[in-house]
Structures are given as C-alpha cells and as structure tokens.
Structure 1
Amino acid sequence: MESALTYETWNEANLQQILGQLRDSMDVLKWATRQYGSSIVYACSFGAEGMVLLDLLSKVNKEAKVIFLDTDLHFKETYELADKIRNRYKDFSIEFVKPSLTIQEQADQYGDELWKRNPNLCCQLRKIEPLASELSKVDAWISGLRREQSLTRRNIQFINKDDKFKSIKICPLIHWTWNDIWEYIQLNQLPYNPLHDQHYPSIGCAPCTVSVEGPADSRAGRWATSEKTECGLHKS
C-alpha cells in the first residue's frame, strides 16, 4: 500500500497527482479507505448530506468508523434519525461523542444558556474540543462539505490539509448541489430528518437553528440571531 498522505507528510505535488486520479465521490471514498484503513473517521451530523455520505460509504466500507458530536442540544428528530441509521447500517461503528461538560456543568462555570451570550465559546466546548480529541487518534476525517453551501466553502478540494485539527480532511461531495443531494435521497429511499420538510435546510443544535421561509442557501437558519455563520469545525 502506498505511503499514506498525512498532515506531517503533506506534499502539494503529490496531492495534485492524487487529485488528478479522482473523478467522483466514490473514487474519493475508495481512495480514502485504501489510504487510511482504520485511521480515518467520518464526522456525521445526520443532515441531508450525511444521509448521502453514509449510504455511499456503506458501499465502500461497511465497517466504517462514524462519530456524531452529541452536544446534548440537538433536536429530538435528530436523535430519532440517528437511531434509524444505527438500525439501517448495523455494521458501522457509530459513536456519540460527548463534551467534557454536561449542560449543567457548563452553566455552573459559564452561566445559563451560553449559546445565547457567547455562541463561539459554546461551540468550542461542545463541538470543537470533542472533535479535536477524536481526530487526535486518526490521520484523516471525512466531511460532507459542499462548495455550493457558502462562500467560505467555495475553494474546498476533495482532499484538504486541515490546519485547525492537524489532520487531512476528505470532502467527497464538493461538487454536489442541493438538488443532487435530494435526488439521491429520494432515488435510494433514504431516511432523513423530517425537519428538512419544515423549512430547515441545515440542522444544528436546537437553540441555534431556525426554520427559513422562501428561497435560501443551505446554511440559512444557523445562528440566525447573530453574525456567526460557522460552528468553527471548518475554519482555520
């Protein structure tokens, strides 16, 4: 097996050679599985993109490691969907990753409803730090980012050097549109979060996600009452 591309061995010339061989999402997932074996994890939020990626991944690696950042603040519909996914893809290793602080412990240290007063700190405690801990155990991770989602994601590649987590971030769906995602879900009769049918294009923690009326991009509705647009997982 070829030497794995890691954060420490990142080489732009080697990367371009690899990218030239990858035509589509399945190529990317096959390459990632071959490259990293058990040293790669898929961080899934159980959104629409997540349903597609889980299904594609099941065709490549039925025993893939999947983690869900369980902030203890998700919608009940998200937790119910997670249970359905566990039953559908029984061979997957799906782990709920918890923050080091419970909601009450966070309130004791930082005050009640930190997400209202300092959403960046709340995401740091409940998402970024737990993910950092998990990624320290592997060489690479898979994400459902798409270029169409926002201006900050326009330049993502299939394979990315992740300076934030000192890792390699694999993004198989970069060229997919929102319509592509839903066509795949419908054609393959995949389960999905019913909140999508209630005008929630992107679904995060319940206190920080609202429904959206009318045309909107797929990130609309997240942190709608603040200037925040990302939880911080995908920002350097």
Structure 2
Amino acid sequence: MSTTITPVGGAEFAERAAEELEEASAQEIIAWASQTFGDRLCVTSSMADALMVDLVSRQVPGIDVIFLDTGYHFPETIGTRDAVASVYDINLINVEPVRTVVEQDLALGPRLHGRDPGICCHLRKVEPLQRALAPYSAWLTGLRREDSATRRATPVVQWDGRRRMTKVNPIARWTQEEVDSYMAENGVIVNPLQYDGYPSIGCEPCTRRVAPGQDPRSGRWAGTGKTECGIHI
C-alpha cells in the first residue's frame, strides 16, 4: 500500500479535480488518487468482472478491495470473488450485512427483495458499504457513463456528500468497446454469467437474463421501476 498522505476533499476540490482530469487516462486518474489519498483509498467491486481490480492493482499493489456479500449472490459471483482474491495483488474485504438472510426473513418477513427491493438493497448493500467505507477518504469505482441514463453525467472525480468522501471513477468515459478490448488484451477475470445473458449482475433473486440488444441493465429489478440499488444515487 502507498504511504499515507494527508487527506483532502470537499465539493470544490472534487469539481476542480474532475475538470483537470477529464481528459486523463484511467491509469493517470488512478495514479492521482493513489498519490492524493495514500492508504486511505480503496476500490469497490461487484465481481461482475475484475476490470477495476486489474487496473488498480497494477498501480496500487495490495489495495483494499471491498465486496458486498449480500447473501443473495449467484454462486458464480462468489466464485469470481474467490478467483480474484487468489490471482490479483489485493486485500479483499468481504463485507456482510448486520443480519443474515435468515435473520432478515424472521424480522421483516421472507422475500423482502420482492416486496420492497429498495429497503432490501439499503439493508444489504447501502448500509454495509457505509460502514465499510468509514476508514477511507476516497473510493474508486467502475462507474461508466454508458452504463445507464442515470450515469451519463458521471464525472471522473466527484464529492460523495452522503459519505463525506471523494469518489473516483477512472473509467467513466470508457465505451463498451474499450472495456472489452482491455479485458481481452489483459486476460481479466470475468464472471461466467456474463457469457450466459447477464451483462449486469446483481443479487440472484433480482437479476434476470437480458436478450441481445436490450439495455444491459434491464435485467436488474425487472418490472419494479427500480434502476439503482442506492449506492451511487
């Protein structure tokens, strides 16, 4: 890990950094984040693939990688997590909700994800991430502007006012072609579900296959009107 650097942040700082780094490469943005935040920097991964892990670990060996283990993941996602932890030079941090799925079912009734996916996501993703990010000053994400309409204005650096920390999105400008090219050229680990009709992978009960040509995220919370888990909105 990098030497600790006095943390900086705030909305104005993030806006200025976003302007200065808008045309920078993903590698340059990651290097800037490492130099700026030192060991108070982490990266989050859903384990749909190891693109961000590959990019970041090349420049910041041993970086903390946060994975939210909701208790509802596909077996393939857990397998991808374990493979990533074995192959890359990272410190995987497996974060679990306060309640197990069984405990949540007993307290709030079974299949909360079907009755109120917003509350389920909050309890099993948003709140655990809030706790996990507490020791850090900044976090790196794999958000891209092409992902969805809600992400089209994603800056490469932004201020996360809810968590009072800087959020860095090194591949915000990347196209799907650039993503595919990087992963192919570098042998990046990919969740096998990506080859089985799941271009966007979340919890098993709330994710379905997507037909060719459909919005990649249309398989998430299909039929509910929900488009985000709440982590990035």
Band the TM-score falls in, shorter-chain normalisation: over 0.9
Partner SS for 1:132: helix
- Structure 1 counterpart of 2:96, from 95, 98, 102: 98
CA shift in 2, pair 1:100/1:226, >3 Å: same
Partner SS for 2:72: coil
Partner SS for 1:220: helix
Partner SS for 1:11: helix
Q: CA deviation at 1:3?
A: 5.6
Structure 1 unaligned runs (5+)?
none
Q: CA deviation at 1:220?
A: 2.1
Q: CA deviation at 1:5?
A: 2.7
2:24 corresponds in structure 1 to: 23
Normalised to the residue count of structure 1, the TM-score between the two structures is: 0.92
CA shift in 2, pair 1:4/1:18, >3 Å: farther
Residue pair 2:159, 2:167 contacting (<8 A) in 1 also: yes
Q: Percent identity?
A: 35
RMSD over equivalenced CA pairs, Å: 1.7
2:37 corresponds in structure 1 to: 36
Residue pair 2:67, 2:94 contacting (<8 A) in 1 also: yes
Q: CA deviation at 1:53?
A: 1.1
Partner SS for 2:126: helix
Structure 1 consecutive aligned stretches of length 4 or more whose deviation exceeds 3 Å: 1-4
Partner SS for 1:149: coil
Q: CA deviation at 1:225?
A: 2.5
Residue pair 1:178, 1:218 contacting (<8 A) in 2 also: no
- Structure 2 counterpart of 1:141, from 135, 139, 142: 139
Q: CA deviation at 1:181?
A: 1.1
Structure 2 unaligned runs (5+)?
none
Normalised to the residue count of structure 2, the TM-score between the two structures is: 0.93
CA distance in 2, matches of 1:18, 1:233: 20
How big is each residue's C-alpha offset from its partner over 1:65-91, in whole Å with a ceiling of 9 and x where there is no partner?
Answer: 1010000110000011111111111x3
CA distance in 1, matches of 2:18, 2:226: 35
- Following superposition of structure 1 onto structure 2, how do residues 1-236 of structure 1 map, counting pairs within 5 Å? 4-7=7-10, 10-11=11-12, 15-16=15-16, 19-21=19-21, 23-48=24-49, 51-89=50-88, 91-235=89-233
Higher mean alpha-carbon deviation, 113-122 vs 162-171, is at 162-171
